[in-house]
Amino acid sequence: MMTIDTSSFKVQEGADLNLSHINSSDTRGLSKEQSQVLLAELKKEMSELQDKLYAENKKSLLIIFQAMDAAGKDSAIKHIMSGLNPQGCQVYSFKQPTTEELDHEFLWRHYKALPERGRIGIHNRSHYENVMICKVHPKLAANQSKIPLEEIDGSFWKSRYKSIVNFEDHLSANGTVIIKFFLHISKAEQKKRFLARIDDPSKNWKFAESDIVEREQWDKYMHAYRDAFRETSTKRAPWYVIPADKKWFARVAICELIVHALKKMDLNYPVLPKEELGSLEQSKAALLAEKD
């Protein structure tokens, strides 16, 4: 099977990335036609691995998606996960916190959404909103934390990064494999997709005036992502910056990395003890002895 080199998409621990220096339209020389063939093969392999994960029921996989608006998170999830068994897959899309959620610490609602053993959990946006949109709009962090705005300083963010790393380390130590994807779209491509949403009546619902307000904060968001990657990309829970100007390439790159993560889990179908195997033979004999 054809493969693509995704190793350079991984953010190394402590790396201080400048996203403007990363090519968001990179396709690794892959054509759209080649990507469609490869994606089909990868989805088949991912489905087989998911079946083992579900049957083994010992570990879980948590996949996190973060991106600027219109980067293609929803469509990536739709296309990549379409071949999975719904019984073994959980998708959560995090919106603004509810009143109940604001009455708890910022990780509380994310604990509640974690995948059970044997399952794949997909978080469309995640606990990282607390160090991304909240960093661009610190009033949100102040309201959530119930502290004065002037206390939202460097030490506050350091504490949040530490909480996130500890949270992910705890999950990893207890059998949850974590992979985090940032779909890297250029500002020019975002503009193109926004205009497409405005011009196509069937896509009008995807666009909101607030999208333009957030677009005006583009540079602040790039700094917030850069800080988050530097502080929270670890060996146990790495970040991957996926070129996303070409949706078809982003999908195949993400799928390849998910398959790689599942393979590393060394998944196997459960093997029954000898006494249970004997019981199976007895059951088989009883069934075969039945008169139709």
Report domain 7-289's class.
Answer: alpha beta
Q: Show Cβ contacts of residue 21 under 8 Å, excluding neighbours closer than 6 positions.
A: none
**Domain layout of the chain by residue ranges:** 7-289
Instruction: Encode the chain (292 residues) as per-residue pLDDT tens digits.
Output: 678 889 999 999 999 999 999 999 999 999 999 999 999 999 999 999 999 999 999 999 999 999 999 999 999 999 888 878 888 999 999 998 999 999 999 999 999 999 999 999 999 999 999 999 999 999 999 999 999 999 999 999 999 999 999 999 999 999 999 999 999 999 999 999 999 999 999 999 999 989 999 999 999 999 999 999 999 999 999 999 999 999 999 999 999 999 999 999 999 999 888 777 778 888 888 889 888 7
CA-to-CA dists, residue 42 to 34, 53, 63, 223, angstroms: 12, 16, 16, 33
SS (H, E, C) 46-86: HHHHHHHHHHHCCCEEEEEEEECCCCCHHHHHHHHHHHCCH
Q: Calculate ∠ Cα 55-65-219, nearest 5°.
A: 165
Distance of CA 279 to the CA centre of its chain: 42
User: Which has the closest alpha carbon to 232: 130, 105, 150, 88?
Assistant: 130
User: Which has the closest alpha carbon to 66: 221, 231, 259, 264?
Assistant: 221
Q: What is the pLDDT of residues 2-40, one digit of tens each?
A: 788 899 999 999 999 999 999 999 999 999 999 999 999
Phi then psi dihedrals of residue 98, to 5 deg:
-80, 175
Q: Would you call 280 helix, strand, or coil by DSSP? A: helix
- Is residue 75 within 8 A of residue 254, CB to CB? The reply is no
Query: pTM to 2 decimals?
Result: 0.94
